[in-house]
Structure formats: C-alpha cells, structure tokens
Structure 1
Amino acid sequence: MIKNQFITQEKLNDFTNTIANKIKNGFVIVEKNDKMPFAVLVKEGKKINHSFNFFVCCVTFGVWTLPWLYLSQVSCKTKKILVALDEDGNVFEEDCYMG
C-alpha cells in the first residue's frame, strides 16, 4: 500500500482550511483521522415552528405553503459530510447518508 506520497503541506493546509470553513458554517467534527486525512462533520437541522408557519400560511391565503414545505423537508434535516484527501492529495467533500 502506498502511504500518502502525494500529500504536501500545501494540500494539508487546504484540507484544514476546508474543515475550518465548515465549522464556521455550523458543522461539528464527529470523527477525525490524521493518518489518512479525513473528517466527518455533522450539522444539526433547524427547528421548525409549525404553529407560526400555519399562521403565516393562513394570513397569506396558502401562498406560504411551498416555503413551509421546503423548510419542513430540507432545512430541518441533519446534514452529515465527509471531508478528505484523495490518493492524489486533492480535497473532496461527500455527503454521508444517515441510516
């Protein structure tokens, strides 16, 4: 097995900067490995106030239904991503599916 021969300090800095940017956006590190550089990050979903959204939906005669559905289905889900360096030393991100 080839051991990280393409990983330079510059690419490690890019990896670290990518993780730092994700942390600024609300992600939290769940798992990290420095031997084979990767990190798993999680961002908790937002809480939806359904009572308020129902009120807004009634006031706007149902126009608020689509944004409310979007908030309920997309924004409230927990996001889990993998940030790692590939064989060539390039940083990549991938969605992790939660089961």
Structure 2
Amino acid sequence: MKSNNSVNDENLIKFSSILTNKTNNGFVILERNDKLPYAILLKSEKKVDHISNFFMFCATLGLWSIVWIYISQVSSKAKKILVALDEDGNPFEEKCYMG
C-alpha cells in the first residue's frame, strides 16, 4: 500500500507534466497553486492573415471559406483554461470564461 505522501508526490509530478505540456503548446500560467493543485492558463489571441485567406478563397472557388471562418471564429481566439487534479488524482481541464 502506498503512503499518502508518495501519492501526493506522484500527483504533483503528474500535474507538473501536464502544465509543462500546456506551456510547450503556447499557454502561459496566470495562477498556480500546488497545494490543491490547480492552475489557470492563458493562450493569447492569434492574428489572422485575411489577405492570404482571401487569395486561398479565390483559388479554391469559395471552398476555403469554411476553413477561413473556422480560423477567424474559433482557433484564433484567446483561450483561458483551468487545469487541476481531482480528489482521486485524475487530471481535468475546464474552459474559463473570459472576463
């Protein structure tokens, strides 16, 4: 049977590896608490190059509009997420409302 200390250490290592993966993907840590453990991460907004998207729209006879709308409305927006471990040590991720 594992002691409570080793379980907490394993959970903290798991939490730190999740945060490392997120920061490697472009997120920035806004707030972190290792006692609970949780962290709030922010990925800044990407600028969309509408001129090149317009040329792709023309070259594909309008088919590129689906991709262009997705890029403009979904993937380029700023993202704020909460990453935490629950009582059992399982990681979870939730979207935070931008305020």
TM-score band, normalised by shorter chain: 0.7 to 0.9
- Shift in Å, 1:77: 0.7
Runs of 4+ in 1 over 6 A off after TM superposition: none
What percent identity do the matched residue pairs reach? 57
1:44 maps to 44
**Gap regions ≥5 residues in structure 2:** none
**Contact 2:45/2:79 (<8 A) preserved:** yes
> What is the CA–CA distance in structure 1 between the aligned matches of 2:56 and 2:88, rounded to whole Å?
51
> What is the CA–CA distance in structure 1 between the aligned matches of 2:89 and 2:67, rounded to whole Å?
40
TM-score by length of 1: 0.85
- Shift in Å, 1:31: 0.8
- Shift in Å, 1:84: 1.2
> What is the CA–CA distance in structure 2 between the aligned matches of 1:98 and 1:29, rounded to whole Å?
15
- Shift in Å, 1:36: 2.2
- Shift in Å, 1:45: 2.6
Letter in 1 for 2:18: T
2:10 maps to 10
1:91 maps to 91
> What is the CA–CA distance in structure 2 between the aligned matches of 1:59 and 1:93, rounded to whole Å?
39
CA RMSD of aligned residues (A): 1.7
Comparing 54-63 with 10-19, greater Cα deviation is found at: 54-63
- Shift in Å, 1:35: 2.8
Looking at secondary structure, tell me which structure has more helix per residue.
2
Letter in 2 for 1:58: C
1:56-67 to structure 2, matched below 5 A, reads: 56-67=56-67
- Shift in Å, 1:91: 2.1
Structure of greater relative contact order (alpha carbons < 8 Å, 6+ residues apart) = 1
